[in-house]
Amino acid sequence: MPQGFFFNVLDVDKFATRDVYGKVLAELAESNRDIVVLTADMRLSNKTNDFAKVHPDRYFDFGIAEQNMIAAAAGMATCGKIPFVSTYAAFASLRCAEQIHTDIAYPNLNVRILSTHAGLSLGDGGPTHHAIEDIAIMRSMANMTVVVPADAKSCAKAIEESVSYQGPIYFRLGMGAEPLVYKGDFDYNIGKANIVREGSDLTVIACGICVMAAEKAARKLEKEDISVKVIDMHTIKPLDTETIIQAAKETGKIITAEVHNIIGGLGGAVAETLAEHGLGIKFKRLGIPDVYSAIGPPDDLYARYGIDSDGIYNASKKML
Amino acid sequence: MHRSIEELQEKAVEIRKKILEISAIAGGGHLGGSLSMVEILVALYYHAMRYNPKEPRWPQRDRFVLSKGHGILGLCPILADLGFYPEELWQDYGRLDSAFGMHPNMDKIPGIDMSTGSLGHGLSVGVGMALAGRLDQADWRVFVLLGDGELDEGSNWEAAMSASHFQLGNLVAIIDRNGLQVDGSTEEVMALEPLAEKWRAFGWRVIELDGHDLHQLVEALDSLPPANSTQPTCIIAKTVKGKGVSFMEGKGEWHYGGLDEEHTKQALEELERSHPGRR
């Protein structure tokens, strides 16, 4: 590598998610000439600068003009490029919804949207900078794949897989300092949920940072002899319904947890699956209760809306 | 194959007749804006552009983005005439599962480089294509045809700014300046003038011409700077909405509609008389 760094997915523990994708892309772009990276005056905050330093000719800063950037990425994809487009999730999913729908999803182009700072991760940024509707918007677009990595390692793996994946992908990434869920090497495939922990009394299906929160809650419940299954449903679409159905049949109780409006996100997707399969089990969606979030530090907001480990613990106790 | 200006003018008349024929099958269409851009398309497809109908996605082709996707009636007969698909493809125009509707779909119509329809997207897509061509050091160009009313969309100006910033000499925007949009004249609805000055201020090389004069169009397209040059070109083509059919010319109400038998007959007779050899 020209800049003298080497990235290995097994060696990622020292990176936060936000530090990962720029480096992964820089590495992948060494062997794939079609990878290009686009950003909208975010090269420093979304760390795509790591790519820019190594591949300046394939890095395009569009300034604060996200709609133009997204449509340009579509144009590049029609010419065989694999554009990774990075901006804040709030702008990608809301301001650029039509460009993503019409220019990327409708023609089924290989654009990868790296939406950073999703959910409430920009806490005191307030609702203008929160993205709590993006899963609902993106998963209702035909052809679109929606991936919500739980940590830096899985983010790296998903990005690596995405290079050869057909069709558009919306990556929902957080602020980037999320604790690691995965240790060592592990299987991670877009469209296939990961069982983080086996359990028999109840299942928590989570995505993003709520996976770690669920894992922590499960550890606490284990001490009370309550066995909780934790599923990292990192791909919201296409949804791994088989794993959901199996968990419903095994544990009879499901809680979903996500940093998203409870309408239309992971919880909605799981609910649709349970209902359509006639699985009338105990079920609870944890998320933001159809309000614009308060302003505050993210951890305080997660506590407010019951999507931190205490919230998941309490919801589990209540359901049991 | 080199065609004389007179041959190109003949093509324009034939394409206009086809537009009316297809709109009759479709039960209507965006006639005004399809008729206004005929010479622009004829100059591009029968003179300037490089493509291969047998290999519609030939990587070395020039790209064309119909940003005013509602003008598909004008492009549809040209691609058939060039051999991208047989005329049978539009015989079910607008019906269930037809390849053709009000706007072009790149996955259903051979020769369409980008699906369009919603306004204000095409120039940005063209910027992306031009960047890809630049990366590959290719000599093909990107042509984007925009409506003038469409320029109300702010995204066009984001695209305009980025095209000059990225120094895309391989990008050509052509504006079908017919002066009318749905609610009235462009200057009444949302004034665009001074339009050429706006594009110049955004860093573009600007050519203003008569969009129905094939001499001028051919000359402008022949004088384009090489694809590896550094300034994008904007051609503002002054046109008449509904051009070629007297009762439609300059009439906003023909933005979208269908013709009854009597009007169709009159329009076809007028077009027949307008053949360059018979004028």
Task: Give me the pLDDT at residue A3, please.
Answer: 37
Check whether residue A127 and residue A238 sit in a common domain: no
Check whether residue A164 and residue A239 sit in a common domain: no
Under an 8 A CB cutoff, do A79 and B136 touch?
yes
Q: How far, in Å, CA of B205 to CA of B225, rounded?
A: 10
Nearest-CB residue to B124 (from A67, A78, A83): A67
Q: Is B126 an 8 Å CB contact of chain A?
A: yes
Q: How far, in Å, CA of A246 to CA of B103, rounded?
A: 44
Under an 8 A CB cutoff, do B158 and A99 touch?
no
Report if residue A4 sits inside a domain: no
3-state secondary structure at position B235: strand
pLDDT tens digits in sequence order for chain A, 320 residues long: 233 333 344 444 445 666 788 888 999 999 999 999 999 998 877 778 889 999 999 999 999 999 999 999 999 999 999 999 999 999 999 999 999 999 999 999 999 999 999 999 999 999 999 999 999 999 999 999 999 999 988 999 999 999 999 999 999 998 666 788 998 889 999 999 999 999 999 999 999 999 999 999 999 999 999 999 999 999 999 999 999 999 999 999 999 999 999 999 999 999 999 999 999 999 999 999 999 999 999 999 999 999 999 999 999 999 99
B169 contacts B229 by C-beta, under 8 angstroms: yes
Check whether residue A224 and residue A168 sit in a common domain: no
- Within 8 A of B59 by CB-CB distance, chain A residues are 79-80
For residue A37, the cross-strand partners are A59, A84
Average confidence (pLDDT) over B16-44: 95
Of the two residues A66 and B255, the one the predictor is more confident about is A66
Instruction: Find, in chain A, the residue whose alpha carbon is nearest to that of B131.
Output: A76
Per-residue pLDDT tens over the stretch B145-183: 999 999 999 999 999 999 999 999 999 999 999 999 999
Report if residue A266 sits inside a domain: yes
Task: Give me the pLDDT at residue A13, please.
Answer: 46
Q: Which residue has the tokens 């009394």?
A: A201
Structure tokens at A126: 């307030």
Q: Is A246 an 8 Å CB contact of chain B?
A: no
3-state secondary structure at position A214: helix
Q: Is B158 an 8 Å CB contact of chain A?
A: yes
* Domain tally, chain B: 1
Q: Is A232 an 8 Å CB contact of chain B?
A: no
Task: Give me the pLDDT at residue A8, please.
Answer: 40
Q: What are phi and psi of A38, to 5 degrees?
A: -125, 140
Per-residue pLDDT tens over the stretch B38-59: 999 999 999 999 999 999 999 9
* Domain tally, chain A: 2
Nearest-CB residue to B125 (from A72, A80, A98): A72
Helical axes B122-135 vs B155-165, angle rounded to 10°: 20
Instruction: Find, in chain A, the residue whose alpha carbon is nearest to that of B126.
Output: A75
In this structure, chain B runs to a length of 279
Q: How far is CA A241 from CA A44, A47, A150, A235, A268, in A?
A: 38, 34, 19, 11, 13
Q: How far, in Å, CA of B234 to CA of B148, rounded?
A: 12
Cis peptide before A179 (omega within 30 of 0): no
Q: How far, in Å, CA of B103 to CA of B108, rounded?
A: 11
CA atoms within 13 A on the CB side of B57: 10
Report if residue A239 sits inside a domain: yes
Instruction: Find, in chain B, the residue whose alpha carbon is nearest to that of A108.
Output: B107
Q: How far, in Å, CA of B170 to CA of B232, rounded?
A: 7
List, by residue number, the catalytic residues of A. Answer: 66
Check whether residue A27 and residue A164 sit in a common domain: yes
In this structure, chain A runs to a length of 320
Question: pLDDT-derived band of residue B254, with 50, 70 and 90 as boundaries?
Answer: confident
Report if residue A146 sits inside a domain: yes
Distance from CA of B1 to the nearest CA of A (A): 26
**Rounded (5°) CA angle B31-B32-B38:** 85
Check whether residue A43 and residue A140 sit in a common domain: yes
Q: Is B106 an 8 Å CB contact of chain A?
A: yes
What is the residue range of B240's domain?
5-278
Check whether residue A61 and residue A210 sit in a common domain: no
Per-residue pLDDT tens over the stretch A246-257: 999 999 999 999
Task: Give me the pLDDT at residue B271, please.
Answer: 94
Under an 8 A CB cutoff, do B166 and A58 touch?
no
Is residue B151 exposed (0-12), middle (13-18) or buried (19+ Cβ within 10 Å)?
A: buried
What is the residue range of A256's domain?
194-319
Check whether B18 has a pLDDT greater than 50.
yes
What number of C-beta contacts closer than 8 Å exist between A and B? Answer: 99
Q: How far, in Å, CA of A52 to CA of A32, rounded?
A: 15
Q: Which amino acid is present at A82?
A: I
Per-residue pLDDT tens over the stretch B155-165: 999 999 999 99
A37 contacts A27 by C-beta, under 8 angstroms: no
Q: Describe chain B by its helix, strand, coil percentages, rounded to 5.
A: 45, 15, 45
In chain B, which among 18-47 make CB contacts under 8 A with chain A?
Answer: none
| Chain A interface mutation, best of B131, B142, B143, B146, highest count of A Cβ atoms under 10 Å | B131
What's A60's DSSP letter? E
Per-residue pLDDT tens over the stretch B110-144: 999 999 999 999 999 999 999 999 999 999 999 99
Check whether residue A23 and residue A86 sit in a common domain: yes
Per-residue pLDDT tens over the stretch A33-44: 999 999 999 887
Under an 8 A CB cutoff, do B162 and A67 touch?
no
Cβ atoms < 10 Å from Cβ of B86: 9
Under an 8 A CB cutoff, do B128 and A63 touch?
no
For residue A256, the cross-strand partners are A205, A285
- Within 8 A of A72 by CB-CB distance, chain B residues are 124-125, 127-128, 131, 159, 162
Q: Is A75 an 8 Å CB contact of chain B?
A: yes
Under an 8 A CB cutoff, do A103 and B155 touch?
no
What's A12's DSSP letter? G
Nearest-CB residue to A60 (from B65, B131, B158): B131
Q: Give me chain B's average pLDDT, please.
A: 96
Closest CA to A183 of A192, A194, A191, A171: A194
What's B229's DSSP letter? S
Q: Which amino acid is present at B74?
A: G
CATH of the domain at A166: 3.40.50.970
Q: Which residue has the tokens 């201020």?
A: B201
For residue A30, the cross-strand partners are none
Q: How far, in Å, CA of A251 to CA of A247, rounded?
A: 6
Report if residue A135 sits inside a domain: yes
Cβ atoms < 10 Å from Cβ of B61: 18
Task: Give me the pLDDT at residue A4, please.
Answer: 34
Report if residue A68 sits inside a domain: yes
Check whether residue A80 and residue A212 sit in a common domain: no
Check whether residue A154 and residue A228 sit in a common domain: no
A217 contacts A286 by C-beta, under 8 angstroms: no
Distance from CA of A115 to the nearest CA of B (A): 19
Please report, rounded to a whole number, the percentage of residues in chain B having pLDDT higher than 70.
99
Q: Which amino acid is present at B199?
A: W
Under an 8 A CB cutoff, do A72 and B161 touch?
no
H runs (alpha helix) in chain B: 5-26, 31-36, 38-43, 72-81, 122-135, 155-165, 186-189, 195-201, 214-222, 261-273
Task: Give me the pLDDT at residue A9, please.
Answer: 40
Report if residue A309 sits inside a domain: yes
CATH of the domain at B249: 3.40.50.970
Structure tokens at A154: 């899985």
